[in-house]
Structure 1
Amino acid sequence: MKIYTRILSLIAIAISLQSCALLSAGGITSQGQPTKEVTQPLTSTTANSAVNVDHSQWDSLLKKYVNEKGLVDYDAFQKDRPLLNGYLDQLANLDPSNKWSEQELLAYYINLYNAVTVELILDNPEVKSIKDIDAPWTKGRARVDGRLLSLGGIENGVLRKMNEPRIHFAINCASISCPPLLREAYTAGKINEQLDKATKQFINSSKNDISANTAALSSIFKFYTEDFYRGSNKSLLPYINKYANTQVAPGTPVTFKEYDWGLNKQ
């Protein structure tokens, strides 16, 4: 009887460990990363942080290989793999903590997500969509202080928990319907202005059809609806109108556009 009890205990432990791994991979947990909530309103500053991360190497790569539409020249990018690897090594050698400011944490994880996504496409040059790659968002790929984080974990387990919905317009999933990849690295000293720029550009782009009586929105607003409510009585329109050039009338029905997962390749 003791043997059976021990076996059942081992099975229970194994199931528990597997469940924890799945939760982490899927982005339910923070994967051991800090989830410092953003103080509203967010300001851009390099002060009050134990670390100021240098993202200049990533910045130079973005300016070189991303065009004004946010499309990436992946073929040419292959030539500078050593520089990308060096930047990812730099990030991997850091250990983010709550001693970092929310500005530094936002910039770090947004840049990490975007750089690892570019690396993923460069590792799979024949794909026509990131969804053609095995477990693109749930497999551990991003190296941080000896740990492997999944892209889904960075987005859902870290960035979304920081209470800053504009991150949805900063991270890029290498797809046509994603927000364009910004042609500059995010930095603590410019983070608020950069997030505002990315949000305004996306909401007022052709990826949304907005008029006084029309609100056909990107499916991003469907995927992460509650992130954008923020006390608005469960309506997306107050958030849209905060950034839209054309104000949508209250009560306008909201629909969602089909998502194009085709590769954001030049």
Structure 2
Amino acid sequence: MTRCTLKGMTIGLLGLTLAGLAAFTPPINIATGSVLLTSAPVDHGSYDRLLKKYVNEKGLVNYKGFKADEKELKKYLDVISNNPPTDKWSKNDQMAYWINAYNAYTIQLILNHYPVSSIKDIGSRIKIPFVTTPWASKFFKIGGEEMSLDNIEHGTLRKKFNEPRIHFALVCAARSCPRLRNEAYEGDKLIAQLDDQGSDFLNNPAKNAITPQKASLSKYFDWYKGDWKENNKSIEYWVNQYSKTKINKDTPISFLDYNWALNEQ
């Protein structure tokens, strides 16, 4: 066998080897150079375990515990960052992803500035021109794009999905927020989870005080009044969906002051 033939075989084998490696190379995010771990819906199991460990049944958070386990939270957020939803995911899988992302990044934001007595205190610590609230700060990336909590809530969830019940699930680390659920949201359980959140929120007298004579509701029903009225619905409709005490169109409605104290255990 000649050297030319041997050389050809070597090059041929090398080509096959490289082709084989290419077939098993994970996809790369061109914007960041990071490996995209999967095109399937994200596994929220690690986040679920953290929530069960550091969030109680009332939705109050052990931030000191989270701080001690911050590496595990960041590992989950790395998965979130590198695996944005695609149109191949179901609508519920996409919504579960974004709700979990919002809540988990909110926890991370608190940990970045801990200790704080309120998330609103973080605004004065942000030294970015024209950024005065923690929700507008672009402190994380998803799919290589710099994003803020506002981008998730207003630019994605409210804009794309037309699902008012997200307001029962997004938790901005304040006492007047809905409880932070001590489990991750999952696409196949999402509707039941949102319904459970609605029931818990509407029947908590500290957050919605409802009697047959009057309804003192969360500011959520004032701030997002347009969302509750979409699809020919009303605030009355959503209250009666979940509140044990019903109201009617003539029931006087007022809105409670919002308690921005940190939702800490």
Is this a same-fold pair by TM over 0.5? yes
Which whole-Å deviations, capped at 9, do the CAs of 1:133-162 have from their partners, x for residues lacking one? 133100112321111211011001111121
Q: Aligned partners of 1:124 and 1:75: how far apart in 2?
A: 12
Deviation at 1:95, TM superposition (A): 2.9
Residue matched to 1:196: 195
Q: 2:81 aligns with which of 66, 80, 92?
A: 92
Equivalent residue letter for 1:146 = G
2:62 matched to 1:63? no
Percentage of pairs with the same residue: 46
Deviation at 1:54, TM superposition (A): 0.3
Contact in 2 for aligned 1:213/1:249 (Cα 8 Å):
no
Stretch moving more, 50-59 or 61-70:
50-59
What SS does structure 1 have at the residue aligned with 2:259?
coil
Residue matched to 1:73: 62
Q: Aligned partners of 1:141 and 1:103: how far apart in 2?
A: 26
Q: 1:159 aligns with which of 137, 157, 160?
A: 157
Residue matched to 1:185: 184
Q: 1:123 aligns with which of 85, 89, 112?
A: 112
Q: Aligned partners of 2:261 and 2:169: how far apart in 1?
A: 18
Q: Aligned partners of 1:82 and 1:146: how far apart in 2?
A: 21
Contact in 2 for aligned 1:172/1:178 (Cα 8 Å):
yes
Residue matched to 1:246: 245
What SS does structure 1 have at the residue aligned with 2:139?
strand
Runs of 4 or more, structure 1, over 4 Å off, are none
Equivalent residue letter for 1:211 = T
Equivalent residue letter for 1:191 = L
Which whole-Å deviations, capped at 9, do the CAs of 1:89-129 have from their partners, x for residues lacking one? 01111132222211111010000000000001111112111
What SS does structure 2 have at the residue aligned with 1:189?
helix
Contact in 2 for aligned 1:71/1:265 (Cα 8 Å):
yes
Q: Aligned partners of 2:231 and 2:164: how far apart in 1?
A: 13
Q: Which runs of 5+ in 1 are unaligned?
A: 1-49
Equivalent residue letter for 2:219 = S
Residue matched to 1:43: none
Deviation at 1:232, TM superposition (A): 4.3
What SS does structure 2 have at the residue aligned with 1:60?
helix
Which whole-Å deviations, capped at 9, do the CAs of 1:149-208 have from their partners, x for residues lacking one? 110110011111211110001010000000110010001111110011111110111210
Contact in 1 for aligned 2:41/2:85 (Cα 8 Å):
no
**Count of paired positions:** 216
Deviation at 1:231, TM superposition (A): 4.3
Equivalent residue letter for 1:113 = Y
Residue matched to 2:72: 83
Which whole-Å deviations, capped at 9, do the CAs of 1:10-64 have from their partners, x for residues lacking one? xxxxxxxxxxxxxxxxxxxxxxxxxxxxxxxxxxxxxxxx622200000000000
Contact in 2 for aligned 1:62/1:182 (Cα 8 Å):
yes
TM normalised by structure 2 equals: 0.79
Q: Select the structure with the greater relative contact order (CA < 8 A; seq sep ≥ 6).
A: 1
Residue matched to 1:138: 136
Which whole-Å deviations, capped at 9, do the CAs of 1:228-260 have from their partners, x for residues lacking one? 113447x41121111111111331111000001
Q: Aligned partners of 1:255 and 1:160: how far apart in 2?
A: 24
Residue matched to 1:38: none
TM normalised by structure 1 equals: 0.78
What SS does structure 1 have at the residue aligned with 2:117?
coil
Q: Aligned partners of 2:222 and 2:58: how far apart in 1?
A: 23
Contact in 2 for aligned 1:142/1:148 (Cα 8 Å):
yes
What SS does structure 2 have at the residue aligned with 1:182?
coil
Q: 1:150 aligns with which of 148, 151, 157?
A: 148
Equivalent residue letter for 2:149 = L
Q: Aligned partners of 2:98 and 2:249: how far apart in 1?
A: 35
Q: Which runs of 5+ in 2 are unaligned?
A: 1-38, 124-132
Stretch moving more, 139-148 or 224-233:
224-233
Q: Aligned partners of 1:173 and 1:241: how far apart in 2?
A: 25
Residue matched to 1:173: 172
